[in-house]
Amino acid sequence: MKFRPHPPEEPEINLIPFIDVLLVILIFLMLTTTYSKFTELQVSLPVADAEAQRDRPKEIIVAIAADGRYAVNNQPLAGRDLAAVARALRGLASKDSVLIISADATAPVQAAVTVMDAARREGLTQITVVAQSGSAGR
């Protein structure tokens, strides 16, 4: 029996893992690279005036607790009815006053409606409701 010598096998280079590594490096570099932006327009930004801040309208803050109790400018009210809230607002309301309603999230809606109705009776037309962003409470 005569055995023939086998020709040596040619080494084979597999390029697929090499290409995979290069793509991962390319993606990494694309994600971590920062690009500097050059502005092409000359912009003149506005300047804040401190005097304009002092001419703010008078603020009346009405806080509503979870159980429906009221506090006007941090002074708790004895009653929870419309007349009690209207009496508290009567002395504070002026033509340019702004009413800020700060209610607990679990406070009854009727409590906020009562405050708005009392504000309407006293001639307050500028009403703001304080809210918290959705992600801050979680």
Q: Which of 108, 106, 62, 109 is nearest to 84 (CA)?
A: 62
Instruction: Give the pLDDT of residue 12.
Output: 83
Instruction: Give the pLDDT of residue 19.
Output: 94
Is CATH 3.40.470.10 what the domain over 56-129 is classified as, yes or no?
no
Instruction: Give the pLDDT of residue 22.
Output: 95
Higher pLDDT, 27 or 136: 27
What are 20-34's pLDDT values in tens digits?
Answer: 999 999 999 988 887
Q: Is residue 72 exposed (0-12), middle (13-18) or buried (19+ Cβ within 10 Å)?
A: buried
How far is residue 44's CA from residue 51's CA, in Å, rounded to a whole number?
21
What are 80-115's pLDDT values in tens digits?
Answer: 888 888 888 888 877 778 888 888 888 888 988 999
- What ranges do the domains of the chain cover? 56-129
| % pLDDT > 90, the chain | 12
Q: Which of 45, 58, 41 is nearest to 98 (CA)?
A: 58
Beta strands 98-103 and 126-129 are: parallel
What are 121-133's pLDDT values in tens digits?
Answer: 888 888 888 876 6
Higher pLDDT, 84 or 35: 84
